[in-house]
Structure 1
């Protein structure tokens, strides 16, 4: 193949092992020759020759949420430019599965790993340290974390959401969230809501605090239970993600509740339908693809021996739309 591409065997090796050190024109010639010869590099031999596997890992909670798919896409785009293959594991929000996935990836020689969230057993981080495999925590950030974090402050984001509603005059709140067990991001979001409300002497009634599957169906079910309950009806509902909030909006239409005149609703993630649904959803936009890109670049920098690497913060943006308004709809 080197003869066909008119390059040395060392250059062929660099194209596959260190592509950034080869000019684009030379890379194109080598790859074209490989295609012509139907040649595929042998990963095992490549690893033995270079003492590197050129494999990265990513552990995400679920494949059903576009925010994690977007993060993986961002990571893969950056890693692919360096000729690194990304292995993907899904924990299904189970810490034990996450640990199993990490151990399996370490056994296969991953060089770096990105893991969503901090709520994992100590054994997981012990295994990474013992194997001396660099890692990054994604989709979460807190200043006092012992881990390198690339994401955003979930607590602060929901403080901002709650303060937005308080500024609109709301004083009676409900909250609909994903399961908080083994999920540090949801725990931080709930803490943010409670913190912001407590500053104004407000608390969410237990009957108005619903936790369950992160689905449209659970959002609908939660609003129906809240609206038919004996306690005073809320004027605002804070949801842990857009799926839940969309469910609340759909059920509000079914029950004849006017949004935002009778009820303001907020979500989180800014999925594509959030802007298209009527009324359009007030939510938080997070550039999850950028989280993935930053995580991949950080891990590559570690492999390159770069020092003084700071955690990365991707700031969420509050998207105020039609689903929130002044109490009584006087806006």
Structure 2
């Protein structure tokens, strides 16, 4: 039997409704609802007719009315430390795409590494009906967890693994990332290894990556010289300035572990400007294995981290929890050291 075509456009007054879409597409209002809620229980031909009818009528479901009926807005909030850090953008892009596939929208906010601001923003988003939350890292105020629990809002921590499993989390072992590069540098013969990092206060990723370096040094009977530590905001300019401090330090390090690729590339820029050769005079490593580091000359030795996988997994977990489906609430992805030309044995002295 031939597939019926949408009938002629009916006259409407004011805003079109689901009944108008159903009449135009030749289906029931229940079918319209299933299509617009991204249900998989509708055949493709029917789905296409409904979407075509909705487009002709410029029909958009009334979000407020739907929220009142279902007690859900189908909005997920992601509160990230900073919009400036490109990797958070890549994670939230993957998050948004997966949520959109499931019929959910993403609301994005930043807290500028201020945990009190994060709690305040979360409260505002709860007031506006946001259903669930994606948070970055393991450091958060207890007030935030109490707020989300009191209002029954599911949440997931990302970019880290909660070893105690107190809170649902999706991420990777940040300590293991820098432990791997430190072992690599020690294996090349380096004994004076410096650290270039974001400030550790309120930033568990920075703390864990610093701990990984210290653990790798301790394995070899070495320690991290306080004169060989530099903290800076995450930007190329700030990293370059911080690296200048390390280059001017007494008995400067022969290698530097940067806790992300932005820091590492900023350090490489500082070396070029001061005539320090990489890797002949000084080795540099990063974390996250971004195109920024891979396309340097020499290419940056770095640790590949699951940037997009985290976003997709966070979306899958929250949608499953909102819809009462089974899911993994604790996921740890592996990391992998990627060897390039920015590391070599230390210069002979």
* Shorter-chain TM-score tier: over 0.9
- Say whether the 8 Å CA contact 1:20–1:82 is kept in structure 2: no
User: Residues 69 and 25 of structure 1: is their aligned pair in 2 closer, same or farther, counting only changes over 3 Å?
Assistant: farther
SS at match of 1:238: strand
Q: Displacement, 1:51?
A: 2.9
Name the SS of the counterpart of 1:166 in structure 2.
Answer: helix
> Hey, what does 2:332 align to over in structure 1?
313
Q: Is the 8 A contact 1:72 1:292 kept in 2?
A: yes
Number of the residue aligned with 1:22: 42
1:185 shift after superposition: 0.8
Question: Deviation of residue 52 (structure 1)?
Answer: 2.2
Q: CA deviation at 1:93?
A: 1.0
Return the offset for 1:30.
Answer: 1.3
Q: How far apart, CA to CA, are the structure 2 residues paired with 1:240 and 1:325?
A: 19
1:202 to 198, 222, 232: 222
TM-score by length of 2: 0.90
- CA distance in 2 between counterparts of 1:145 and 1:89 reads 26
Counterpart position of 1:301: 320
Are the counterparts in 2 of residues 142 and 153 from structure 1 also a CA contact under 8 Å?
no
Shift of 1:110: 1.8
Q: Alignment partner for residue 42 of structure 1, among 38, 49, 62? A: 62
Task: Tell me, yes or no, if structure 1 residue 81 matches structure 2 residue 91.
Answer: no
Q: Equivalent residue for 1:263? A: 282
Given that 2:258 and 2:287 are in contact with CA atoms closer than 8 Å, whether structure 1 keeps it comes out as yes
Partner of 1:184: 204
Q: CA deviation at 1:304?
A: 2.7
Q: Secondary structure at the match of 1:147?
A: coil
1:283-318: CA deviations, max 9, x gaps? 112231110000110111212323463411122221
Q: Which protein shows a greater Rg?
A: 2
Gaps of 5+ in 1: none
SS in 1 for 2:334: coil
Instruction: Give the conservation status (yes or no) of the 8 Å contact 1:275–1:281.
Output: yes
Which residue does 2:119 correspond to in 1? 99
- Three-state SS of the structure 1 residue aligned to 2:40 is helix
Corresponding residue of 2:302 = 283
Aligned residues: CA RMSD: 1.5
Q: Deviations over 1:182-227 (max 9, x none)?
A: 1111111111111111121211211110111112122222222222
Aligned residues: 328
State whether structure 2 residue 262 is matched by structure 1 residue 243.
yes
The match for 1:160 is 180
Match of 1:327 in 2: 346
Residue of structure 2 equivalent to 1:175: 195
User: CA–CA distance in 2 between the matches of 1:259 and 1:50?
Assistant: 59
1:81 is displaced (CA, Å) by 1.5
1:6 aligned to which of 20, 23, 26:
26
